[in-house]
Amino acid sequence: MDFHINEIIKPNLSNNTIEINLQFNRKNKEVKKFIEYIKSYNASIIGQKDFLIKIIPYNEIIFFFSKEKFNYCQTSDNIYKVKNKLYEIEKMSLDFMRISKNCIVNIEHIKDFDMSKTGKININMDNDVSLAVSRRRIRDVLDFFDERINQV
């Protein structure tokens, strides 16, 4: 896919606005993913820790998890409670991948995989936390990465 970028400065746009016009001859899988990437560029979620409410950009989130009927997100510095359901979070970004019933990882923060001879997979995150992929999700995880590798 070839890209041609034309930068135009429009002084009449508000300070935090970027206007993007895409032109393509047909809408295919690559174009759809590119549009999703642009939409999620500055995306964030609201997290709460004690009495602090913080807007957390997706790229800072390492993983989400459920514990005792509540959902949380782990960043490099803290754990925040989030109000979103895991099935909603899973659809928020192409970089979020569910690895078990109660865990979603941000693939941008995966350091490596530990695959055993028995077929179990552990995902090591860049904050040195190791997360187990449930047996039910192993095929989904492998398919997810096969799809990503084929795009490169």
pLDDT tens digits, 127-151: 999 999 999 999 888 888 787 777 6
Contacts of 123 (CB under 8 A, 6+ apart): 99, 105, 110, 113, 114, 130, 131, 132, 133
For the whole model, what pTM was predicted? Answer: 0.72
- The confidence score (pLDDT) of residue 70 equals 96
Other C-beta atoms lying within 10 Å of the C-beta of residue 58 = 19
CB within 8 A of 140, min separation 6: which ones?
A: 97, 98
- Going by their DSSP bridges, the two strands 121-125 and 130-133 should be labelled as antiparallel
Cβ–Cβ < 8 Å for 83, 72 = no
pLDDT of residue 35: 80
Mean local confidence (pLDDT), 6-13 = 84
In the structure, what pLDDT confidence band is assigned to residue 37 with cuts at 50, 70 and 90?
A: confident
Q: What is the pLDDT of residues 68-106, one digit of tens each?
A: 999 999 999 999 999 999 999 998 888 899 999 999 999
Number of H helices, E strands in the chain: 3, 10
Percent of the chain at pLDDT exceeding 70: 95
User: What's the pLDDT band for 20 if we cut at 50, 70, 90?
Assistant: confident
